[in-house]
Structure 1
Amino acid sequence: MTIAVLFFAVLAPWIALIGFLASRVLTSRLRNAVGFFHPFTNDGGGGERVLWCAVRAVQDDNPDLDCVIYTGDHDASPDSLLRRALDRFGIKLLFPPKVVFLYRRKWIEDNTYPRFTMIGQSFGSMFLSWEALSQFTPKFYFDTCGYAFTYPVARLFGCKVICYTHYPTISLDMLSRVRQRSSMYNNKASIAQSAWLSQCKLLYYNLFSWMYGLVGSFAHLAMVNSSWTKSHIEKQWKIPDRIKRVYPPCDTSGLQALPLERSSANPIFISVAQFRPEKAQAVQLEAFALACTMLDREMRRPKLQLVGSCRNKSDEDRLESLKQIAMQLNIAEDVEFHKNIAYRDLIDLLGGATAGLHSMIDEHFGISVVEYMAAGAIPIAHNSAGPKMDIVLEEDGQPTGFLAETVEEFANAIIKVLRMPEDERLKMAAAARKRAGRFSEQRFYDDLKAAIRPIIRHRSR
């Protein structure tokens, strides 16, 4: 780490000088536009919802600015993206965004880097952003995916850099887990069990954390989606005056129109999350299977619906693996899998759910948890980060859901929901729905517009 610091200390003045001279030349090429760096425009998750809501917010406030999407999805077109925003997320853009295609997206895909994935993807994003900005250079560069290593590149091109950070690429919690040698999806058991390998990984993480803080500080405005993310980004990027907490847009208005009453004959538990390793759907299957063994004789056997999107073959394989786990746990007949469904179908499923499951450790925010609450489904969420600090909190003195960490705790929460008298469930569901209103799409629009106006409005005219 000391060598890296000395290296940057020697080269920093020269890099700054070259960057300044280059930016003076490149500024003349700037287009009156906002370029949204979002290489995967078909991921179907909360990040894509943020993208389209951010585009709509910019269009509302600055109709004179073009909105350009940098995407690696070559089947995308202005009209198809306009339709996707509406059909998948219920977001009506005022006019179609322009599209700039990226041909080297593999530089940021995890399967490109079997080892040192984090730093490989980060440096790869720098090359990908160079490709993007070389094709089209906007006045304002808006990263909606958390590729912080692209910010110095955008500054070099003369752009004003705005970002919406869902999750720090590396967090202090990740460093702590490696230090404590805890096994997890991003810390293999073979490393956790070795003192020497753990020390090597800790050195790597510390170096990367320092670099992450350096590149993040290039942002003119950093919006973050939760109290947990804000705390980490402030400590790492050290630009507290340029960091604003803007809760992500959750579809609370449409979901709040659903009736709170649920059929007691067929209790349904729903899980809405992309099929990614950190979402830990296997934990939900194990907890559901355990809960089924704990049912009283008079209790009706529940159903579990796993709803999510697949970005690539790795996600498809993970979905198939989850189906196999359900079979091994003897709950295959009780579990339904819904892949890449339309937004209107998601609303229908949420409207029939008694409760919703969430099991990701240190989920930065947890849009799905808010959606459960708005729809009238009791949330059972992981006891960490966003759900713990911002979402599943009391409302007017009333509990709004359950928090759990272990398989046993999730199973016990499932049983509590099944045993809950209807009037008690309705009281909790009503309190949860009221709290969900704090994270509405309209509040996102208002807060995001207020955050970006000092930068975009003053510079775009």
Structure 2
Amino acid sequence: MAFNILLFALVSALSAIIVRLILVVIKGRNNRSKVVGFFHPYTNDGGGGERVLWCAVKAIQEETTDLNCVVYTGDHDASPQSLMARAIDRFGVKLLHPPQVIHLCNRKWIEERTYPHFTMVGQSLGSVYLSWEALCKLTPLIFFDTSGYAFTYPLARVFGCKVICYTHYPTISSDMVSRVWKRSSMYNNDALITRSVWLSRCKFIYYTFFSWMYGYVGSFAHLAMVNSSWTQSHIEKLWEIPKQTKKVYPPCDTSGLQVLPLERPVKTPAIISVAQFRPEKAHTLQLEAFSVAVKKLDTGSPRPKLQFVGSCRNKEDEDRLQKLKDSAIELKVEGDVEFYKNLMYKDLVRLLGGAVAGLHSMIDEHFGISVVEYMAAGAIPIGKKTNLQSHLRLPWCPAHNSAGPKLDIVLEEDGKRTGFLASDVEEYADAILELLRMPETERFEMAAAGRKRAGRFSEQRFFQDFKTAVRPILAQLSKVNC
């Protein structure tokens, strides 16, 4: 008897929840606002993703006056005016008018620290819960994901939204699955797992299943814009919607940087590193390489300085920055290293204008906005290479040669090289030394070639390709509203 009562109570509760969900969805579908809702929970990350957000908002504002722009954010101090000011102060993007802001209260469910294990699944399911909050607070005509939360797309479709996304990199890729199978240790593949055959096989099964799920939810997008040929190949393979997948290079500030003079100070050469303080950016490798290069400097040679410029999203990033500062002290180069956190855009331009070189050390960089910015500013890039280098036609490129930089950015310009490659601390140090010893005329020639190449990835190109991609969907909505 008691069991029957309990079962009846559970069924009744579950039925009530389902009915409630259906009513909420029906209400949302019937009360969609004439807005484009940008799902971007972190509007203070300061990286290339945030630049894309503000350029996308501006492009929509320029393309149509029928739809307002709304930003869903978990930053509770964000306001329309502060976000508009941030767009121009941090990125030089001037919006036509302030976007509406919807504050999200449950951002903790997409934070990495919330899920010590099975992080990808946890964050993905957490994003569904967060998008539920967003869609219930305001249901837009277009749900625009600019942060890579593909698991939100089916829910947005249920609410009757058109789903558009700008994908910087796939949440999971065949490269990640391959590393697990080969038991290669990296920041996202713990050494404890790589040492165990059984754990590695279990993680391989987990990754394979997640990859299938990611492909399924991604296929719900009406339009998927991707930032590079590397990302495009992965997304087309996983999501299987090639006709809805469009390559739109991210907006790089080439015009503002290309006016900087190519001549640089030689008394204290500056080497800059622009990247968020995240583990995959490999800042420690750069610092160690700089330390080795300084020790190998010729007597009487000008002593360089290393400038780390980046943003911190959370406490974990703050801790990484502090460890980097501690490492500089341990390596006895603290007097030669400068740290700039959450820098204003105008100050970043000033630093780029004084740098002779730019460091990049991320493996599988999906595009590499910082590489383009180095080249546009006249700073010669020194970046990551792999064992695949012997199979390439080009002997010089600034970044990991299996992802965006190889396929899109770093190609010889007029037969001239545009940077250096390195694979470990010693090779990075040797590249730094070679650059410092290079005659000014040779450095000037390489910088000029890089600047010309960087001109292919301008904000103007982004606006043009972005608007071309979204126009069919905007036209469909206009016909429906008419």
Deviation of 1:290 after TM superposition, in Å, equals: 1.5
Question: Does structure 2 conserve the Cα–Cα contact (< 8 Å) formed by 1:273 and 1:307?
Answer: yes
Deviation of 1:27 after TM superposition, in Å, equals: 3.0
Deviation of 1:22 after TM superposition, in Å, equals: 8.8
In the other structure, the counterpart of 1:426 is: 444
Q: Helix, strand or coil: the match of 2:307?
A: strand
322, 334, 337: which one aligns with 1:335: 337
In the other structure, the counterpart of 1:411 is: 429
Question: Does structure 2 conserve the Cα–Cα contact (< 8 Å) formed by 1:365 and 1:386?
Answer: yes
In the other structure, the counterpart of 1:364 is: 366
Deviation of 1:204 after TM superposition, in Å, equals: 0.6
The superposition leaves residues 407-444 of structure 1 with CA deviations (integer Å, 9 ceiling, x where unpaired) of 22211211121111111111110110111111101100
1:6-85 alignment runs, 5 A limit: 26-85=28-87
Question: Does structure 1 conserve the Cα–Cα contact (< 8 Å) formed by 2:24 and 2:136?
Answer: no
Aligned length: 444
Q: Which AA in structure 2 matches 1:444?
A: F
Q: Distance in 2 between matches of 1:72 and 1:22?
A: 22
In the other structure, the counterpart of 2:12 is: none
Deviation of 1:222 after TM superposition, in Å, equals: 0.4
Question: Does structure 2 conserve the Cα–Cα contact (< 8 Å) formed by 1:392 and 1:402?
Answer: no
Deviation of 1:300 after TM superposition, in Å, equals: 1.7
Q: Which AA in structure 2 matches 1:399?
A: R
Q: Distance in 2 between matches of 1:195 and 1:287?
A: 33
Q: Distance in 1 between matches of 2:462 and 2:476?
A: 21
Q: Which AA in structure 1 matches 2:421?
A: L
In the other structure, the counterpart of 1:8 is: none
In the other structure, the counterpart of 1:172 is: 174
What TM-score do you get using the length of structure 2 for normalisation? Answer: 0.90
In the other structure, the counterpart of 1:453 is: 471
The superposition leaves residues 382-414 of structure 1 with CA deviations (integer Å, 9 ceiling, x where unpaired) of 232122222122111111112222222211211
Q: Distance in 1 between matches of 2:421 and 2:237?
A: 27
Q: Helix, strand or coil: the match of 1:151?
A: helix
Q: Which AA in structure 2 matches 1:211?
A: M
Question: Does structure 2 conserve the Cα–Cα contact (< 8 Å) formed by 1:381 and 1:387?
Answer: no
Q: Which AA in structure 2 matches 1:73?
A: D
In the other structure, the counterpart of 1:313 is: 315
Go from structure 1 to structure 2 and tell me whether the alpha carbon gap of 1:359 and 1:196 turns closer, same or farther (over 3 Å shift).
same
Question: Does structure 2 conserve the Cα–Cα contact (< 8 Å) formed by 1:39 and 1:105?
Answer: yes
In the other structure, the counterpart of 2:211 is: 209
In the other structure, the counterpart of 1:438 is: 456
Q: Which AA in structure 2 matches 1:169?
A: T
Q: Helix, strand or coil: the match of 1:73?
A: coil
Q: Which AA in structure 2 matches 1:430?
A: A
Question: Does structure 2 conserve the Cα–Cα contact (< 8 Å) formed by 1:269 and 1:354?
Answer: yes
Question: Does structure 2 conserve the Cα–Cα contact (< 8 Å) formed by 1:22 and 1:156?
Answer: no
The superposition leaves residues 24-57 of structure 1 with CA deviations (integer Å, 9 ceiling, x where unpaired) of 7643221111000000001111100000000000
Go from structure 1 to structure 2 and tell me whether the alpha carbon gap of 1:120 and 1:424 turns closer, same or farther (over 3 Å shift).
same
In the other structure, the counterpart of 1:268 is: 270
Q: Distance in 1 between matches of 2:426 and 2:315?
A: 32
Q: Distance in 1 between matches of 2:140 and 2:148?
A: 18
Question: Does structure 1 conserve the Cα–Cα contact (< 8 Å) formed by 2:28 and 2:136?
Answer: no
Q: Distance in 2 between matches of 1:254 and 1:76?
A: 27
In the other structure, the counterpart of 1:142 is: 144
Question: Does structure 2 conserve the Cα–Cα contact (< 8 Å) formed by 1:24 and 1:158?
Answer: no
Q: Distance in 2 between matches of 1:191 and 1:70?
A: 37
In the other structure, the counterpart of 2:102 is: 100
In the other structure, the counterpart of 1:9 is: none
Q: Distance in 1 between matches of 2:235 and 2:296?
A: 42
Go from structure 1 to structure 2 and tell me whether the alpha carbon gap of 1:396 and 1:23 turns closer, same or farther (over 3 Å shift).
farther
Q: Which AA in structure 1 matches 2:269?
A: P
Query: Runs (4+) of structure 1 moved beyond 6 Å?
Result: 19-25
Q: Which AA in structure 1 matches 2:294?
A: C
Q: Distance in 2 between matches of 1:403 and 1:450?
A: 36
Q: Helix, strand or coil: the match of 2:426?
A: helix
Deviation of 1:64 after TM superposition, in Å, equals: 1.9
> Do structure 1's residue 295 and structure 2's residue 297 form an aligned pair?
yes
Deviation of 1:295 after TM superposition, in Å, equals: 1.8
Go from structure 1 to structure 2 and tell me whether the alpha carbon gap of 1:25 and 1:100 turns closer, same or farther (over 3 Å shift).
closer
Question: Does structure 2 conserve the Cα–Cα contact (< 8 Å) formed by 1:260 and 1:376?
Answer: yes
Q: Helix, strand or coil: the match of 2:455?
A: helix
Deviation of 1:23 after TM superposition, in Å, equals: 6.9
Deviation of 1:296 after TM superposition, in Å, equals: 2.1
The superposition leaves residues 252-306 of structure 1 with CA deviations (integer Å, 9 ceiling, x where unpaired) of 1111110000111111100000111111100101111111222222422211000
123, 126, 145: which one aligns with 2:125: 123
Q: Helix, strand or coil: the match of 1:140?
A: strand
Q: Distance in 2 between matches of 1:24 and 1:341?
A: 45
User: How many percent of aligned residue pairs carry the same amino acid?
Assistant: 69
In the other structure, the counterpart of 1:247 is: 249
The superposition leaves residues 158-214 of structure 1 with CA deviations (integer Å, 9 ceiling, x where unpaired) of 000000000110111001111111110000111111111111111110010010000
Deviation of 1:20 after TM superposition, in Å, equals: 11
What TM-score do you get using the length of structure 1 for normalisation? Answer: 0.94
In the other structure, the counterpart of 1:3 is: none
